[in-house]
Amino acid sequence: MRILAIETSCDETAAAVVEDGRRLLSNVVATQIELHRRFGGVFPEVASRQHVLAIQPVVRQALDEADIGPARRLDAVAVTHGPGLAGSLLVGVNAAKGLAFAAGLPLLGVNHLEGHIYSNWVQPPEDESQAAQELFPTLVLIVSGGHTEIVLMRGHCQYERLGATLDDAAGEAFDKVARLLKLGFPGGPAIQRAAEGGNGARFALPRALRHDPTHRFDFSFSGLKTAVINLLRSLEAEGAALDDAALLRDLAASFQAAVAEVLVEKLAAAAQATGARQVCICGGVSANRALRDGAQARFAALGLPLHVPPLFLCTDNAAMIGSAAFFRAGCAPAAANPFALDVHAGLPLST
Ligand code: KG4
Ligand code: ZN
């Protein structure tokens, strides 16, 4: 089954052609990062207008690179319809409706979080054995700009939410702390760069809910951000400044260590409690080196297979949407009237 997938939920205009949920025939991402940088975050109206400009060339390129034409046809069109920015989602959904209607193809609506999960099932071109296998229960950590959740899958498309953040998402914490450290947008990659060679043990920052029995698999990151604010104040009172390169390195490394440690620790506890047979991490923050290294060491010690997508599939892309659409099509009947598909900014992950 060959699917054209479209993703426009936030600030990337993306289109991909995916075969049988795993094989990438093309994967095009037009990022808007430069446009939003001067606002210090994603500016929703600017994002939707840019999607309008980019969607046609991006889809065209994805079809061309996959060699879609009379000799190689599509079987369906898939599109992210939530969660995300409503105005941005609308551009992708309307483009997908137009394409599906014109080509007489089924239209499949995909949840963005389900997309992130299935980024682990897409075969990385450099090493196909890295992709997740049909091993259930599978435990998943979703860590993106808007979500931080631990989800247990007892089969394809079956989701049981074990825990989530009570306040900020992990990516949001990276973005907010990057702003405090004057590192710019997007915060995650900026903090990772700033933390290189830093001492993550220099500043003791909180690991919230670490030993809280009623929130075993939940997270909280807003207190961590406040702790960074307080630490900066006391450092400034002592005469220290962020232009001290060693200080900035250690601050960034200490913050990154606090986030990565609590994510890995709770994920490992959930894996042991549920008897998971494989573990997956996904979403923009899964690109983080400290998190990837920490998780790899921990799950190797536990003897559990760990999957983390290649970097280009961690942040938003359409390949993961094409993969999720394929597996979802195998679980659920197609919608009676796919053209009634609407956008849903707060769409929850559902079985
Ligand atoms: O999944 P994603 O591209 O978009 C959402 O669905 O939200 O995630 C974006 C988030 C941002 O908060 C960004 O700062 C974070 O992922 N991120 C990172 C890294 N790369 C992106 N966080 C930490 N380390 C990174 N290397
Ligand atoms: Zn995302």
User: What is the token pair recorded at 42?
Assistant: 């994603």
Ligand 1 proximity of 287 Cβ (cutoff 6 Å): yes
Phi, psi of 13 (to 5 degrees): -95, 115
Compute the distance between CA of residue 176 and CA of residue 178 in angstroms, rounded to an integer.
5
CA of 216 to the centre of ligand 2 (A): 25
HSE toward the beta carbon, residue 59, CA cutoff 13 A = 24
> Tens digits of per-residue pLDDT, 162-181?
999 999 999 999 999 999 99
Is the shortest distance between the CB of 194 and ligand 1 below 6 Å? no
Alpha-carbon span 313 to 237, nearest angstrom: 43
The number of the ligand nearest the C-alpha atom of 196 reads 1
**pLDDT attached to residue 124:** 81
- Output the CA–CA distances (angstroms, integers) from residue 337 to 3, 74, 101, 232, 345, in the order listed: 19, 20, 12, 55, 21
Q: What are residue 158's DSSP bridge partners? A: 155
Q: Which amino acid, one-letter code, is at 102?
A: A
Which amino acid is present at 303? G
Is the four-CA dihedral 192, 308, 310, 85 of positive or negative sign?
negative
pTM passes above 0.85: yes
Q: How far is the CA of 174 from the centre of ligand 1 (A)?
A: 8
Q: E strand or H helix at 91, and its extent?
A: helix 86-103
Read off the pLDDT of residues 298-325 as tens digits, 9 standing for 90 and up.
999 999 999 999 999 999 999 999 999 9
Q: The sheet that has 107-111: what strands, in order across it?
A: 23-31, 12-19, 2-7, 76-82, 107-111
pLDDT of 205 > 90? The answer is yes
Tell me, in angstroms, the distance from the centre of ligand 1 to residue 187's CA.
8
Residue in the block written with tokens 């949407």: 321
How far, in Å, CA of 125 to CA of 119, rounded?
13
Given ligand 1 and candidates 36, 113, 144, 175, which is best to mutate, with the most ligand atoms within 8 Å of its CB? 144
Is the beta carbon of 283 within 6 A of some atom in ligand 1? yes
Angstrom distance (rounded) from CA 112 to CA 304: 26
- Nearest partner of 347 among 105, 93, 103, judged by Cα: 93
- Indicate if ligand 1 lies below 6 Å from the C-beta of 171: yes
Neighbours of 66 (CB within 10 A): 22
Quick: pLDDT tens for 2-38. Answer: 999 999 999 999 999 999 999 999 999 999 999 999 9
| Token pair listed for 189 | 């990659």
